[in-house]
Amino acid sequence: MNTEYIELTPLVPGQPLNLIKHTFGQPGTGRSAYLQAGLHADEHPGILVLHHLTELLSGYEQQGKLRGEIVIVPFANPVGLLQNVLGCWTGRFNLADGENFNRQFPDLNPLLDAQTLAKDTSPAERVQAALADNQPIDTTSQMKHRLMAEALKHDLVLDLHCDSDAVLHLYTNQLHSERATRLADALGAEVVFVEEFAGGQPFDESIFRTWKWFADKEYIAPETIPFSVTVELRGQTDVSDELARQDALGIIAFLAAEGLIALDEPVVLESDKTTIYPLEGASHVRAPVTGILSWHKKPGDRVSLGECIAELIHPDRVPGSARTFVLSDVNGVMVARPVMKMIRAGQRVALLAGNEKLANRQAGSLLKHF
């Protein structure tokens, strides 16, 4: 394992800030994979998963079983890790400007459009030239630039996240539905959201859209576009050695199936539990009033259109007052819900996956800022 420290502009004088990058295998000897965790710095399951994964990969490397290059950035957001307010990690949003750390990654497409390079310039060289033309000054933008520059070198890109209280689920583009299904099967995930254009420039889509530009211009075949996926590793409290090792072994199985690791036993990933849902069918159910949630459903439960999934109790009303019902607006499954039970009016109380596209869900604005 080779470890590299990628220096970022300090936030305060005298305080160094770095991204840590571990590289396994030999670059250029085969296909490659990139994995990162903690881009939302208050989401910690992925950090422990990558800790277990580095231990496993070290063993495979010593045994000579690696057939490609695997790069790991164990915590992708040192800026967010500095944000601890009264004992609580607040690493989803940048406290300096309120920006979601997984939004507004560089959009290289306008820079690619403006290039006047020679016709025989390779796509990889074009990408590096576009990155060179987009040199940010502030620390957070620089961090996003460094992460994207590394991820764009690889065939497989896995960005590890989690939700608040949730089942394991994935987000990817429609082109890579089949590969995402195999990854879901390796991890035991039953829900995969797919979209053509989510919007908001999250990390995984920024990688995909960069390479899709080349496919649209017929520089590369669509099937050669690198696979990029967001993996939601259950909820924020689902952090344990047992779960982390289980997920790390699932990733090992996927990487082996992709030809990056030679295992003693061949890996066959055939999904019989995973369901593909359109991201346009993902419902972010909001609380109609302020109150305390009493749940009828939990993540992973099936839900039906019009079914009551929770009740809101009003502590400011007299005993015996009517409760407010929270109803499902899809036929599908509950994917996530908040950990906190006191909910304000308008706050998201559930993420539901439905098979049908919803009228209020439009391509280009499918990701919420929360």
Place of tokens 């950090």: 47
| pLDDT given for residue 273 in this prediction | 86
> With 90 as the cut, is the pLDDT of residue 325 above it?
yes
Alpha-carbon span 363 to 279, nearest angstrom: 9
Q: Distance from CA of residue 297 to its chain's centroid?
A: 25
Convert the pLDDT of each residue in 175-225 to its tens digit: 999 999 999 999 999 999 999 999 999 999 999 999 999 999 999 999 999
Alpha-carbon span 204 to 159, nearest angstrom: 7
Averaged pLDDT of the chain: 95
| pLDDT given for residue 115 in this prediction | 95
CB 94 within 8 A of CB 101: yes
Mean pLDDT of 47-52: 98
Six token digits for residue 146: 């460094």
> With 70 as the cut, is the pLDDT of residue 369 above it?
no
Please tell me the chain's helix, strand, coil percentages from 3-state DSSP, rounded to the nearest 5: 30, 30, 45
Element (H, E) at 52: helix 45-62
> What are the residues whose beta carbons fall under 8 Å from the beta carbon of 71, sequence distance 6 or more?
21, 22, 23, 24, 32, 33, 34, 35, 150, 153, 154
| pLDDT given for residue 19 in this prediction | 98
Please, which residues bridge with residue 68 across strands? none
Q: Helices (H), strands (E): how many in the chain? A: 8, 20
Mean pLDDT of 127-143: 95
Per-position b or e across 59-75, b if 16+ CB within 10 A of its CB: ebbeeebbbbbbbbbbb
Domains of the chain with bracketed CATH:
2-273 (3.40.630.10), 281-354 (2.40.50.100)
CB 351 within 8 A of CB 336: yes
| Angle separating helix axes 45-62 and 241-257, nearest 10 degrees | 50
Convert the pLDDT of each residue in 263-317 to its tens digit: 988 787 776 789 999 999 999 999 999 999 999 999 999 999 999 999 999 998 9
> With 90 as the cut, is the pLDDT of residue 339 above it?
yes
Alpha-carbon span 363 to 328, nearest angstrom: 22
Alpha-carbon span 295 to 300, nearest angstrom: 13
Band of residue 261 on the pLDDT scale cut at 50, 70, 90:
very high
Place of tokens 């910690």: 44
Mean pLDDT of 25-40: 94
Mean pLDDT of 40-65: 98
Mean pLDDT of 154-181: 97
| pLDDT given for residue 335 in this prediction | 98
Alpha-carbon span 307 to 266, nearest angstrom: 44
Mean pLDDT of 151-179: 97
pTM of the complete model beyond 0.85: yes
Convert the pLDDT of each residue in 105-119 to its tens digit: 999 999 999 999 998
Residue predicted with more confidence, 370 or 248: 248
Convert the pLDDT of each residue in 18-28 to its tens digit: 999 999 998 88
Alpha-carbon span 60 to 24, nearest angstrom: 9
Phi, psi dihedrals of residue 295, rounded to the nearest 5°: -85, 140
The distance in angstroms from the start CA to the end CA of the chain is 36
Secondary structure of 307-350 as H, E, C letters: CEEEEEECCCCCCCCCCEEEECCCCEEEEEECCCCEECCCCEEE
E strands, 48-133, in order: 69-73, 84-85, 88-89
| pLDDT given for residue 28 in this prediction | 84
E strands, 130-218, in order: 156-163, 165-166, 169-173, 191-195
Convert the pLDDT of each residue in 85-98 to its tens digit: 999 999 999 999 99
> What are the residues whose beta carbons fall under 8 Å from the beta carbon of 367, sequence distance 6 or more?
103, 198, 199, 200, 202
